[in-house]
């Protein structure tokens, strides 16, 4: 359909539109008009993405005099693919109705691992080895060597791309990663470098958060984005964590050991070079004296991960004299590693500010702040000079240098936490202990790690999410932060330190009661069920959970998803179900797929799960509440007619890190507000919000909240633990679930839940009035309705 929002003609690829989508677009358009940032919350299942895409592309079409570029950030690659698929659908529609004028170039960008088409390179196992394998074939010195020596292997795709030079362009269209690969294969051009090149010219770029937020990646990818861009962060409820992680480094003993190995190897290389080509090291030294950390004309294929510090904070000066010579620099690194090693040899938790840490490095190891700051650039320059291509081997020393640079650069907003932990112990202290008392769990893990040989981790934690995102807010015209759950919506501007011009939260109006949450407290034998520590291994509870699933698989069609509180618990319960024959009963009705710690296997299991749901055989997927699947995969439509949450999931709250962060926030707010009373109340809110957000959104909302794709979709959720019947636990569930949780469904046993499920499924199978006109409020708008709305002004919307 085609309609007007003020002066912009919006092309929307469906015949109908939800009223929520319409108001969402209206608000978004205001933000774009004002050239400001905005914050929009709209529940999942209302078609946020398509509304966003169609408004922004239509806006760009309407304002041809100042073309805007859309930079769409997703959390993961599979979300990127989804977005591109929707964009393709939209683009086809626009081209059909507008002709060639609507043509645009949209590309998704990912790492070499996902884009490489060179069979020799892409068969490498992980990302780092693919990157290194690529460098081995494409680094500038390798290529110049190949010019002389024909036996030197190079990458034909890169060579072809390089030869085509300016001629290597993508025709207009929407390119997913697969499309890029196919195009690259057909033309014989390297898709990765082509995509990176085309990013500057594309109308729409879809990539992951990190490509904009993490200075290491953003420095090489997103440097040249124009100011007239609209940046969208989708599913942004975790954006503060991404920002924080982008600037955090943790160092473990293995890292240090690896770093020492790296240093010796570099030493050998230096010796070798001294023998054969001493002039080169000399040239590097001269360059550094002139103040150029790197040669100015780095070819794209040489680019490494960029400086971990934010661009504004990087000093544009000459590298200090004490680390200019390669040998001296290595000595400094050696001392640094030694110092960290001593630091790690502790058995108690320590917290330090970067300032005092730098001071103690200076006094103990004799490395000043400025030298620390330049560590990264110096290392980069050295590795380039030594023409090292197997960069995946040098990750450890790189980590150390990142750490040094960050610690030398930032005095505020960071802290260094040294905490002992044991890798052989699964680091999930029992949730109960953790919740009842944080200090108790701490002492427990301490005592455990004392008894086993202690291993320490040193973590440089960033506490200020606004640091990493600040350049984005400063640089781009509009930044849109949107998600299904952003409440409380006024917290985000504070956390990220920005001023939105529009900040709104939308509610979803449902045509019918299409979600059915239930709280199950008792099993079929009327005994309580729970994953509480003292009950979870009780065979009765295990059996009751199993019986619940057996009953449910026999009545629920298609897909069922089960979430457990942890891997170890899931493993245990599946084994005991296998032994008691419950698993066999489940398999009578549905196939069983399980999330494991192996990402490849999990991906295949998910793929097969979808296939089984598609072909009608039906399947159950066992997953873990904190796992990767729970965080990112949708179980909408027939892929998840029922979600069962076995037990109450508790996040390992990263207690020390989180607490340090809260303290920091309190301090900064104190400086800002000055008023102690308001601050205290605020911090209380913050405190609860932060911990609760960890509890709610990442778990319940993430696990359960992705069942609904549209208003026509439906799904049930069962929270199987007696603790959910308590108000304080339940109230942490997202509001839209709570609003559908009827009092009658709060305290069910298996047989009652079964009855309710049957009734619900029967009700959902009935045909219904899609526009919702029977209930008085329209939940679906047709072309006519939208035109009427446009005339009356959007103020008279249904809210």
Partner 1 sequence: MSSGQVTKRVKYKTSVKDAGTPGRLSLVKERLLFRPNNPNSASKLDMQFKYITNHRYTKEGSNKAPMLNLTSNQACRALAPPVEAPNLGASSQVPSEQPSRDDLLFRARLLQDSSELQKLHQQFVGGGVLTEAEFWATRKKLLEKDSNTKSKQRGGLKSSVLGESKPLIDGRTNRVTFNLTPEIVREIFSEKPAVHRAYLNFVPSKVTEKDFWTKYFRAEYLQRSKNIAAAIAEAAEDEELAIFLKPDDILANETRRKIRRVDPTLDMEADQGDDYSHLPDHGILRDGSKEVPEPGNELYRRTLLQDLNRHAAVVLQGTPIDEEQLKDTQTVAEALERSKQERSTASKDDDSMADQERLKGISQAMTIDDLRGSNDHHLAPLWIKDPRDYFDSQQASSFRTSMEATKGSMSSQEAYGLLRESISQIKSMGLNHPIVAPEVAQKVLSVLTHNISSTKYNLGKKPGESLLDSLPTSVRDELLHHHISIEELMKHFWSSYPITTKYLNTKVIKLKDEMSKMDSQLQKLKETVQPDIRHQITLLIRPMQQALEAAMQHYDAEQQKRASKAREKPNGYS
d(CA 419, CA 456) in angstroms, rounded, equals 6
> Which residue, 440 or 591, has its beta carbon nearer to partner 1?
591
Q: Give whole-number Cα distances, 93 to 2, 62, 222, 474, in Å.
A: 11, 16, 29, 34
Output phi, psi for 698, to 5 deg: -70, -30
> Which residue, 463 or 732, has its beta carbon nearer to partner 1?
463
Q: How far is the CB of 151 from partner 1 (least distance, A)?
A: 29
The 3-state DSSP class for residue 67 equals coil
Positions in 129-158 near partner 1 (CB under 8 A)? 130
464 scored as a contact of partner 1 (CB under 8 A): no
Look-up: residue for tokens 């618990």? Answer: 569
DSSP collapsed to 3 states, 324-386: CCHHHHHHHHHHHHHHHHHHHCCCCCEEECHHHHHHHHHHHHCCCHHHHHHHHHHHHHHHHHC
Look-up: residue for tokens 């029922």? Answer: 642
d(CA 207, CA 15) in angstroms, rounded, equals 29
Which of 5, 10, 31, 50 is in the footprint of partner 1 by CB under 8 A?
A: 50
d(CA 535, CA 558) in angstroms, rounded, equals 31
Positions in 699-728 near partner 1 (CB under 8 A)? 709-713
Which of 9, 140, 160, 250 is in the footprint of partner 1 by CB under 8 A?
A: 250
Q: How far is the CB of 302 from partner 1 (least distance, A)?
A: 17
242 scored as a contact of partner 1 (CB under 8 A): yes
770 scored as a contact of partner 1 (CB under 8 A): yes
d(CA 647, CA 565) in angstroms, rounded, equals 6
Cis peptide before 488 (omega within 30 of 0): yes
Positions in 385-444 near partner 1 (CB under 8 A)? 395-396, 398-399, 402, 423-424, 426-428
Three-point CA angle 631, 635, 641, nearest 5°? 140
> Which residue, 90 or 155, has its beta carbon nearer to partner 1?
90
> Which residue, 656 or 732, has its beta carbon nearer to partner 1?
656
Q: How far is the CB of 260 from partner 1 (least distance, A)?
A: 15
Q: How far is the CB of 730 from partner 1 (least distance, A)?
A: 24
Which of 102, 246, 733, 789 is in the footprint of partner 1 by CB under 8 A?
A: 246
Positions in 621-680 near partner 1 (CB under 8 A)? 624, 626-629, 632-633, 637, 651-652, 654, 657
694 scored as a contact of partner 1 (CB under 8 A): no
> Which residue, 364 or 601, has its beta carbon nearer to partner 1?
601
Q: Which range of residues in 124-132, 226-234, 284-292, 407-415 is near partner 1 by CB under 8 A?
A: 124-132
The site map against partner 1 for 739-768 (x = CB under 8 A) is: ------------------------------
Which of 5, 17, 319, 340 is in the footprint of partner 1 by CB under 8 A?
A: 17
Residue 84 parent element (H or E):
helix 77-98
The 3-state DSSP class for residue 719 equals strand
> Which residue, 478 or 651, has its beta carbon nearer to partner 1?
651
Positions in 494-533 near partner 1 (CB under 8 A)? none
77 scored as a contact of partner 1 (CB under 8 A): yes
> Which residue, 527 or 591, has its beta carbon nearer to partner 1?
591
Kindly report the number of other CB atoms within 10 A of residue 576's CB atom: 17
Burial class of residue 103, CB neighbours in 10 A (0-12, 13-18, 19+): middle
The 3-state DSSP class for residue 299 equals coil
d(CA 678, CA 233) in angstroms, rounded, equals 31
Which of 4, 6, 34, 85 is in the footprint of partner 1 by CB under 8 A?
A: 85
> Which residue, 272 or 770, has its beta carbon nearer to partner 1?
770
> Which residue, 228 or 571, has its beta carbon nearer to partner 1?
571
- Structure tokens, 544: 């009751």
d(CA 609, CA 611) in angstroms, rounded, equals 5
126 scored as a contact of partner 1 (CB under 8 A): yes
Q: How far is the CB of 571 from partner 1 (least distance, A)?
A: 7
Give the closest residue to 52 by CA, choosing from 490, 480, 489. Answer: 480
Q: Which range of residues in 26-34, 261-269, 454-462, 557-565 is near partner 1 by CB under 8 A?
A: 454-462
> Which residue, 284 or 352, has its beta carbon nearer to partner 1?
352
Q: Which range of residues in 64-72, 492-500, 516-524, 577-585 is near partner 1 by CB under 8 A?
A: 577-585
> Which residue, 657 or 733, has its beta carbon nearer to partner 1?
657
> Which residue, 491 or 594, has its beta carbon nearer to partner 1?
594
Q: How far is the CB of 461 from partner 1 (least distance, A)?
A: 6
Handedness of CA 80, 86, 92, 94 (dihedral sign): negative
Output phi, psi for 112, to 5 deg: -60, -35
> Which residue, 288 or 619, has its beta carbon nearer to partner 1?
619
Positions in 291-330 near partner 1 (CB under 8 A)? 305
CA 781 to chain CA mean position, Å: 34
Q: Give whole-number Cα distances, 204 to 83, 89, 664, in Å.
A: 11, 14, 37
Positions in 550-569 near partner 1 (CB under 8 A)? 567-568
Q: How far is the CB of 55 from partner 1 (least distance, A)?
A: 15
Which of 57, 210, 405, 530 is in the footprint of partner 1 by CB under 8 A?
A: 210
Cβ contacts of 681-685, under 8 Å, gap ≥ 24: 685/488
The site map against partner 1 for 588-627 (x = CB under 8 A) is: xxxxxxx-xx-xxxxxxxxxx-xxx-xxxx-x----x-xx
Q: How far is the CB of 745 from partner 1 (least distance, A)?
A: 24
d(CA 750, CA 127) in angstroms, rounded, equals 46
> Which residue, 63 or 470, has its beta carbon nearer to partner 1?
470
d(CA 204, CA 474) in angstroms, rounded, equals 20
> Which residue, 60 or 660, has its beta carbon nearer to partner 1?
660
18 scored as a contact of partner 1 (CB under 8 A): yes
Look-up: residue for tokens 């290595």? Answer: 330
578 scored as a contact of partner 1 (CB under 8 A): yes
Buried b or exposed e, range 258-280, using 16+ CB within 10 angstroms:
bbbebbebbeebbeebeeeeeee
Which of 82, 265, 331, 763 is in the footprint of partner 1 by CB under 8 A?
A: 82
> Which residue, 582 or 717, has its beta carbon nearer to partner 1?
582
Q: Give whole-number Cα distances, 205 to 29, 80, 200, 419, 561, in Å.
A: 20, 10, 9, 40, 33
Q: How far is the CB of 546 from partner 1 (least distance, A)?
A: 15
Which of 20, 27, 41, 86 is in the footprint of partner 1 by CB under 8 A?
A: 86
Output phi, psi for 305, to 5 deg: -60, 140
Number of shown-chain residues binding partner 1 (CB under 8 A): 111
Which of 37, 91, 113, 641 is in the footprint of partner 1 by CB under 8 A?
A: 113
Q: How far is the CB of 273 from partner 1 (least distance, A)?
A: 27
Q: How far is the CB of 442 from partner 1 (least distance, A)?
A: 14
Check: CB of residue 415 under 8 Å from CB of residue 463: yes
The 3-state DSSP class for residue 579 equals helix
71 scored as a contact of partner 1 (CB under 8 A): no
Q: Which residues, 6+ apart, have CB-to-CB distance to 161 below 8 Å?
A: 168, 189, 190, 193, 194
> Which residue, 101 or 427, has its beta carbon nearer to partner 1?
427
């Amino acid at each position: 359909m085609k309609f007007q929002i003020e002066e912009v003609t919006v092309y929307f690829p469906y015949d109908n539109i939800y009223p929520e989508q319409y108001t969402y677009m209206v608000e978004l358009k205001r933000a774009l008009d004002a050239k400001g940032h905005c914050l929009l919350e709209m529940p999942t299942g209302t078609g946020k993405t398509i509304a966003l895409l169609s408004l922004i592309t239509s806006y760009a079409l309407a304002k041809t005099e100042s073309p805007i570029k859309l930079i769409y950030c997703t959390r993961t690659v599979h979300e990127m693919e989804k977005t591109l698929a929707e964009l393709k659908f939209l683009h086809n529609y626009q081209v059909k109705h507008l002709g060639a004028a609507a043509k645009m170039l949209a590309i998704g960008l990912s790492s070499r691992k996902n884009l490489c088409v060179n069979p020799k390179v892409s068969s490498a196992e992980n990302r780092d080895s693919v990157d290194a394998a690529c460098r081995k074939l494409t680094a500038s010195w390798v290529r110049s060597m190949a010019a002389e020596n024909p036996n030197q292997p190079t990458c034909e795709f890169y060579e072809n791309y390089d030869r085509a030079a300016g001629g290597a362009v993508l025709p207009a269209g929407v390119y997913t990663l697969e499309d890029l690969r196919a195009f690259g294969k057909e033309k014989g051009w390297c898709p990765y470098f082509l995509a990176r090149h085309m990013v500057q010219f594309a109308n729409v770029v879809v990539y992951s958060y990190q490509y904009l937020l993490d200075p290491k990646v953003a420095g090489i990818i997103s440097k040249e984005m124009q100011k007239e861009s609209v940046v969208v962060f989708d599913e942004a409820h975790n954006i503060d964590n991404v920002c924080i992680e982008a600037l955090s480094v943790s160092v473990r003993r293995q890292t240090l050991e690896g770093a020492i190995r790296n240093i010796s190897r570099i030493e050998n290389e230096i010796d070798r070079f001294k023998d054969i080509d001493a002039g080169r090291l000399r040239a590097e030294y001269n360059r550094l004296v002139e103040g150029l950390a790197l040669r100015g004309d780095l070819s794209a294929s040489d680019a490494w991960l960029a400086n971990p510090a934010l661009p504004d904070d990087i000093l544009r000066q000459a590298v200090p004299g004490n680390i200019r010579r390669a040998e001296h620099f290595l000595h400094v690194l050696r001392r640094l590693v030694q110092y960290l090693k001593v630091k790690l040899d502790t058995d108690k938790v320590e917290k330090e500010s970067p300032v005092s840490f730098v001071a103690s490095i200076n006094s103990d190891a004799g490395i000043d702040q400025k030298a620390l700051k330049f560590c990264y650039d110096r290392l980069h320059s050295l590795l380039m000079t030594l023409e090292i291509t197997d960069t995946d081997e040098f990750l450890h020393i790189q980590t150390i240098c990142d750490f040094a640079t960050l610690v030398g650069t930032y005095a505020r907003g960071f802290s260094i936490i040294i905490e002992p932990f044991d890798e052989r112990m699964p680091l999930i202290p029992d949730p109960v202990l953790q919740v009842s008392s944080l200090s108790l769990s701490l002492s427990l893990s301490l005592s455990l790690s004392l008894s086993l040989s202690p291993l320490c981790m040193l973590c440089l934690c960033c506490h200020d999410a606004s640091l990493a995102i600040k350049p984005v807010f400063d640089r781009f015209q509009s930044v849109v932060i949107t998600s299904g759950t952003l409440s409380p919506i006024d917290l985000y501007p504070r956390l990220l330190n920005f001023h939105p011009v529009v900040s709104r939260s939308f509610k979803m109006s449902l045509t019918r009661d299409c979600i059915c949450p239930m709280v199950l407290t008792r099993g079929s034998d009327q005994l309580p069920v729970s994953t509480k520590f003292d009950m979870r291994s009780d065979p009765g509870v295990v059996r009751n959970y199993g019986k619940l699933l057996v009953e449910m698989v026999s009545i629920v069609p298609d897909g069922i998803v089960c979430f457990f509180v942890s891997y170890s618990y899931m493993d245990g319960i599946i084994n005991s179900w296998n032994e008691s024959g419950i698993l066999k009963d489940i398999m009578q009705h549905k196939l069983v797929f399980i999330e494991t710690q192996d990402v490849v296997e999990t991906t295949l299991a998910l793929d097969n799960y979808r296939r089984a749901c598609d072909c009608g055989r039906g399947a159950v997927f066992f997953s873990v509440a904190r796992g990767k699947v729970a965080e990112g995969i949708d179980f909408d439509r027939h892929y998840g007619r029922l979600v069962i949450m076995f037990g109450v999931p508790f996040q390992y709250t990263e207690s020390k890190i989180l607490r340090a962060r809260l303290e920091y926030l309190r301090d900064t707010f104190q400086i800002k507000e000055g008023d102690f009373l308001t601050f205290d109340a605020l911090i209380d809110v913050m405190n609860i919000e932060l911990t609760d957000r960890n509890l709610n959104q990442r778990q319940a909302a993430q696990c359960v909240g992705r069942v609904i794709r549209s208003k026509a979709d439906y799904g049930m959720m069962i929270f199987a633990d007696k603790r959910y019947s308590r108000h304080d636990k339940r109230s942490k569930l997202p509001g839209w679930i709570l609003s559908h949780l009827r009092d009658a469904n709060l305290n069910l046993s298996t047989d009652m839940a079964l009855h309710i499920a049957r009734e619900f499924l029967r009700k959902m199978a009935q045909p219904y009035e899609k526009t919702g006109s029977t209930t008085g409020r329209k939940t679906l708008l047709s072309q006519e309705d939208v035109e009427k709305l446009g005339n009356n002004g959007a103020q008279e919307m249904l809210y």
